[in-house]
Amino acid sequence: MSNALHVVCPHCDGVNRLPEARLADAPKCGRCKGPLFTGEPVALDAARFEKHLGKSDLPLIVDFWAAWCGPCRAIAPVFAAAARELEPRARFIKIDVDANPALSARFNIQSIPALFVFKAGAVAERQAGLSDPGVFRRWVERFGA
């Protein structure tokens, strides 16, 4: 018997329940029919993030960033590559801190980029910045399903 997981759609935020074994079969959203995994980080605002945080059984790897932040731009390709490689074991999310100040306050983010892992609706790990891609990969893989 395989485990069923709740996967939140990156397009419509619909909650899909599917067997863990089907995660890698390019599953589609039951509500909007879009692909549940696109291999790309999903940009979310506070309201949408709340749904993913509350409903997703997958670990959420979140990059808090801003357009003016040079180091954020520098890690963006590494973050995107990790999404391509590690989906569907985790959901990769980007949150613009300028547009979502309440979230930065809630998670006490003092500097960006700030990388977080959320599991079961709570912070599992946080890290300021990103030293190199290899370190980031290993860090993320610890949280893969």
Active site residues: 69, 72
Write each residue from 21 to 60 as x if it is in contact with Zn ion (CB under 5 A), else as -, in one continuous string: --------x-xx-x--------------------------
Q: Does 69 bind Zn ion (CB under 5 A)?
A: no
Stretch that binds Zn ion, among 8-16, 66-74, 100-108, 128-136 (CB under 5 A): 8-16
Q: Which is nearer to Zn ion, 93 or 109 (CB)?
A: 93
Amino acid at 110: Q
Q: Which residues bind Zn ion (CB under 5 A)?
A: 9, 11-12, 14, 29, 31-32, 34
